[in-house]
Amino acid sequence: MPDIASILFSGALGLLVIGLGGLLLSRHAYRVLLALVIAEAGANLMLVIAGYRWDAVAPILSGDMAPVAMVDPVPQAMVLTAIVIGVGVQALALTMIIRIKRTYGTLDMVQIKKLMEKDFDRIASASTSASKSRGKA
Amino acid sequence: MNQYVILTVVLPLLAAFLLPSAGRFSFSIARLIAPLVLLFSTYLLIDVFISNTEPFVLHIGDFIAPQGIAFYIDELALIMALAVQIFALLLWPWKAPGSDTNSSASVKQLSLMLLLVSSANGLAFSGDLFNLYVFYELLAVATYGLIAYNPNNDSGFDTGFDTGFAAAFRYLIVSATGSVLALVGISLIYFLTGTLNFAHLATLQTTLYNPIGLTAFILILVGFGVKAELFPVNSWVPEVYSATSRRLSALLAGVISKLAVLVIIKVMLFIFPYDEARQFVLILGLAGVIVGELSALKANDFTRMISWSSVGQLGLVFVAFSIPGKAGIIAGLAVMFHHMLTKPALFLIAEKWGGNFSLLNGQGRKTWLLSAAFVIIALSIIGVPPLPGFWAKFLLLTGLADNTAYLAMIVILIMTVIEAFYLFRVFNHLYGTETDTSGNILRHSFLDQLTVSVLTVLLLVSVVELETVNIMLNSMTDQLTDLNGYIARVLGSSGAGI
């Protein structure tokens, strides 16, 4: 039977791979964001496992306890920070998705890119036509 | 006095969060506070820079490293932080986004600018990998907001905001993916060594010299490389720089990308000083040079051309840092600082020169000041002696030749020819015989003209003061490569606590 550590490690790696695969393959903006959430969960799990010890207790010192082996508390503190950062970024991304849906009427990443490029060209050609030059764009 | 350096991180952060509330009372107070904070931190940094010849360490909360977080302040970090303050002040959003009137930028935007400056200072100083990650994320969030909120609207179209949001979202996805990769890299390093302090990691370098360690390095390189416009993760560059205001693009391309480069140099020097790591950086850097310069050649508007050329230049920076030893660091710093001076000026020039190149026909005689500035900057980028760009490229090429990296040399020389080709094409429009009949004059605002002139004069001054520049680059390199000194200062309890 495989030990718990390797199961957790492969779980974290699996989440990462699923997330990165989703980021590369999805076209829908919301799914891209969900894939990012999954990948972040994988990274966070990886960070927790990095400092975990299976033969140890929670890192809390109480008055008359004899010192025993403890789980490394540093990655647990770090992962909290990482989770909070992740939530903030995801919320920001959601507001942007809403804004994009309102203005472009689509959440297809390919469509969004096309419409955006068209807008860039329009801005570029607008300044060109103002000067009545040859205009090759 | 030294411990007050921490204020350059704390004060802008505090002001960033107080500004929205202050703005409710009085808009003009909020508008005044933000630049004043930056001026104060500029003063602090100059003072510390003058009074210190040796690097020093600040232990945050008086917890001695590696338990606590250490700020390591050397000459390079101070100069980078100073550059952040000065360029933020030079490129400060005095006007509201997308309007030609003199109504000022909103409080939110000023607050985000302060957040950007604070996290950039943190990136320059921090000596702890996870602390760097947090500052990097803070910087990223500030840039997402600024990009979405800073439309480029020199055409008078009201599409600016929409492209801003779309570009910001696409950038956010790339950047957040990079952060996830960097976090995995950091957790691998922690798994192998049990520490994230740079000095402590420097003593454990051999523990990391294995496939897992190299994987961690590649993950961190690609992750932090997003902001440094590194090759596979730079698709956001032309989109973001086209969508946002030119002043913000100038700040992002000129200074913020260099802070990401600084983080990568620290990781390379202190944690992974191995040939395999350098090879990887060299390959990605060369790919960046090729992709950037070829795309710049294909671009048919000024903004996208200089955006891609910026990718190419940062590729050169990575190629330079991949050269082992001090020669590589000196060349890398030279190319980096040259890019830092020239690229913001080019983006400011693009403020009115965006759009098709034919728009520029005959402008060389109408707007002589900025056209002349453009010519000087472009010649320096190509590397025409005696301009500083020549010396930077000279250092880079001799460094490559000493390490028999001839293929890289050939690639860089070919790309220089391409660079010269597309920049000379612009000269041809500016000074060529084809004249524009409409009599349009592309006049920049006084502020932009002044900023570009200051940057160009700085470029020319560095030609005269080449000896001083050389001495400074050497002393920065000496401090950066003094690994034993670094370890002794951070892990010995010599630093000051706060």
Write out pLDDT tens, residues B423-447: 998 888 888 777 666 666 777 788 8
**In chain A, what are the helix, strand and coil shares in percent, each to the nearest 5?**
70, 5, 25
Tokens 């704390």 sit at which residue? Answer: B10
Q: Give the gap in angstroms from C-alpha A78 to the nearest C-alpha of chain B.
A: 8
B5-44 confidence digits (pLDDT tens): 899 999 999 999 998 888 888 878 888 888 899 999 999 9
Of A93, A133, A136, the CB nearest to B361: A133
What gap in Å lies between CA B383 and CA B402, rounded to an integer?
Answer: 20
The nearest alpha carbon in chain A to B350 belongs to A124
Of A93, A116, A125, the CB nearest to B163: A116
Asked whether residue B97 carries a pLDDT value surpassing 60, the answer given is no
> What ipTM did this prediction achieve?
0.88
State whether B148 and A104 contact (CB < 8 Å).
Answer: no
Residues of B in contact with A123 (CB under 8 A): 152, 154-155, 157, 159-160, 163, 242, 354-355
What gap in Å lies between CA B269 and CA B250, rounded to an integer?
Answer: 28
Report pTM. 0.91
Asked whether residue B274 carries a pLDDT value surpassing 70, the answer given is yes
State whether B356 and A29 contact (CB < 8 Å).
Answer: no
Model confidence at A115, pLDDT cuts 50, 70, 90, reads: confident
**Cβ proximity of B416 and B371 under 8 Å:** no
Q: Give the gap in angstroms from C-alpha B180 to the nearest C-alpha of chain A.
A: 6
The one-character DSSP state at B151 is B
- What percent of chain A is modeled with pLDDT above 70? 88
Of B137, B166, B300, the CB nearest to A100: B166
State whether B184 and A112 contact (CB < 8 Å).
Answer: no
Best residue of B69, B129, B139, B169 to probe chain A, by most A CBs closer than 10 Å: B169
Of B180, B190, B243, the CB nearest to A50: B190
Model confidence at B102, pLDDT cuts 50, 70, 90, reads: very low
Cα distances (angstroms) measured from residue B110 to each of B142, B217, B367, B447, B469: 11, 35, 31, 18, 33
Asked whether residue B306 carries a pLDDT value surpassing 60, the answer given is yes
Residues of A in contact with B163 (CB under 8 A): 116, 119-120, 123
State whether B183 and A43 contact (CB < 8 Å).
Answer: yes
Give chain A's end-to-end CA distance (angstroms, integer): 65
